[in-house]
């Protein structure tokens, strides 16, 4: 499938069903589950923390990004941390330039393991996004990926829900993950 073919299918899917969230990662089209209420609460919690850290930041929910080498993929992270206004005028699939961090919150999809834990870290690292935060509700852990080398993230810090973790620069926020215990499956 080509990039243009994917974008045409994605445009049609959005017009016909609000329940579909399509991505094109690693040359494969995937479907993301529609988020549940706890998923939304986690994004709300993280958005508040990001804005408290820097009022010029915004955690954009569901902003589509061109990803991977030569932008041959499309991902729709659960959140993209960037300066307010970063995506103005860019449309559904935006450039990742200016993205400080992408966030994924697991939703129990059948392909969560492959997509959120394998394919997306590689794709985001290829793209050069400084931080990938995976909030894994299945394992009750936070995984902070940082220092992309163009192929992979060189550092991955894993902590269980309930512990504090510092998101590395350029984010530089300390997260107390205790509240996440209330929003797992």
User: Six-digit token pair at 78?
Assistant: 């659960």
User: Six-digit token pair at 28?
Assistant: 């494969």
CA distance 78 to 73: 16
Q: State residue 15's pLDDT score.
A: 46
Q: State residue 92's pLDDT score.
A: 86
Greatest extent of the chain over all pairs of C-alpha atoms, in Å = 44
Number of other residues whose CB lies within 10 A of the CB of residue 112: 17
The dotted CATH code for 36-183 is: 3.90.1570.10
Phi, psi angles (nearest 5°) of residue 26: 65, 30
Does the pLDDT value for residue 154 go beyond 80?
Answer: yes
Domain spans of the chain, in order of start = 36-183
Give the ranges where 17-142 is alpha helix by DSSP (H). Answer: 37-53, 112-114, 120-127
Cβ(96)–Cβ(67) under 8 Å? Answer: yes
Mind giving me the DSSP string for 114-143?
HIIIIIHHHHHHHHT-SEEEEEETTTTEEE
Q: pLDDT tens for residues 62-117?
A: 899 998 765 578 888 999 999 999 999 998 899 999 999 999 998 776 666 667 78
State the pTM of this model.
0.80
Q: pLDDT tens for residues 53-69?
A: 999 999 999 899 998 76
* Three-state secondary structure of 73-108: EEECCCEEEEECCCCCCCCCEECCCCCCEEEEECCC
């Amino acid at each position: 499938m080509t990039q243009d073919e994917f974008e045409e299918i994605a445009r049609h899917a959005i017009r016909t069903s609000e329940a579909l969230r399509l991505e094109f990662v690693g040359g494969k089209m995937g479907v993301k589950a529609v988020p549940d209420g706890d998923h939304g609460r986690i994004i709300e919690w993280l958005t508040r923390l990001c804005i408290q850290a820097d009022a010029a930041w915004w955690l954009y929910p569901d902003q589509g990004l061109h990803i991977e080498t030569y932008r041959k993929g499309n991902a729709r992270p659960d959140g993209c941390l960037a300066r307010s206004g970063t995506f103005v005028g860019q449309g559904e699939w935006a450039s990742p330039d200016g993205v400080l961090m992408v966030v994924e919150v697991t939703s129990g999809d059948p392909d969560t393991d492959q997509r959120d834990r394998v394919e997306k870290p590689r794709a985001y690292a290829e793209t050069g996004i400084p931080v990938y935060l995976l909030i894994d509700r299945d394992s009750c852990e936070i995984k902070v990926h940082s220092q992309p080398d163009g192929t992979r993230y060189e550092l991955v810090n894993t902590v269980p829900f309930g512990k504090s973790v510092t998101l590395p620069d350029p984010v530089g926020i300390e997260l107390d993950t205790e509240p996440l215990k209330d929003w797992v499956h």
